[in-house]
Amino acid sequence: NQRCILCCVDYKGHRPEILSRDVLISLVSELSRNRVKSVLLAGEGEPLLNKNIAEFITKGSEKGINIALNSNAVLLTEELSEAILPHLIWARFTIQSPYPDKYAKIHVAKESDFYKVKENIQKAVAIKRRKKLSVTLGIQQILVNENWNDVYGNAKLSKSLGVDYFTIKRFSKHPDNMYDVPEDLYKRSIEQFKKCEKLTDENFKSLIRWNQFEVQCIRNYKKCIGLPFITQILANGDISPCCQFFDDNSKSLGNLYENTFSGIWLSERKRKVMKDIEENIDVSKCMTYCRHHSTNMFLWQFFEPPAHSNFI
């Protein structure tokens, strides 16, 4: 429903694909059976476009799976918030600028979407407070060429809407996408970052990911060993080991229209694909700041412990 200029899957061409209800709902039991801890609805497109998403969230929560949501909030009606917020661990909404014209430019959307999003978030906050829900609500901005000067304004907007936090994150480029930002873009926003942090109080937090901005994504490890811990399920039913290979059929673990999640996850094909990636992919050429990067940084401390690791 939007075509953000910084979309990490822009290279896929924005094909209209949505998981069927049968596949989506049967997936809940499969994930529970395989002891999946959490599910983040995000990444390839707007999750709320799937009309069965509320049922998935509810059933997943009832099975003991932690469910979280990334959304642009355009489709987050009051009725939908009433249905899903009690079953979410957290929900994070994307607003790339606090100014309607710049919002529309970056999101490639109508200016009216900006006002709709604000209203939807305010209603979600009201529902959370009225029902005394534990769900954490936040707003995120990705720092790009078009909005580096909007950070403080966006943080103030977030606080005024009543969410629990605002966060600013670094842009991550897929090798097949054209859009890019300079590595040092964040330096233009440092003073705004500092002003944002002063908005933090007992009810609201401004979270600046300094470690992301000040430390470049340098992979000191030579191979990816994080694949077994996070996997991606796409709207066409494909299960992909990571976002780097969404459009690479040779790296697909299988498809939910052809097999169950259990059948795919325990398959010989899955083992071979993950082994191939681990042994043959040059991680220095992977997209920056992928989800598996932090997993690898953690895991490699155990595979190759640093010297004197027992001293604080």
Give helix then strand counts, H and E, for the chain: 11, 9
C-alpha distances in Å from residue 138, one per residue of 64, 164, 207, 290: 23, 6, 10, 21
- What is the predicted pLDDT for the residue at 224? 87
Which regions of the chain are under pLDDT 50? none
> What pLDDT does residue 201 have?
97
Mapped onto helix, strand or coil, the DSSP state of residue 274 is helix
Q: State the pLDDT at residue 214.
A: 67
Which residues make Cβ contacts (< 8 Å) with residue 160, sequence separation at least 6?
none
Which domains are seen in the chain, by residue range?
Answer: 10-214 (3.20.20.70), 227-303 (no CATH)
What pLDDT, on the 0 to 100 scale, is given for residue 283?
82
Structure pTM?
0.90
pLDDT of residue 291: 77
Residue 14: the pLDDT is: 63
52-76 per-position pLDDT tens digit: 999 999 999 999 999 999 999 999 9
- Tokens standing for 117? 């999003």
Q: Decide: 43 and 18 in contact? Cβ < 8 Å.
A: no
| Apex 208 CA angle, 202 and 211, nearest 5 | 130
What pLDDT is recorded for position 244? 78
Predicted local confidence at residue 166, as pLDDT: 98
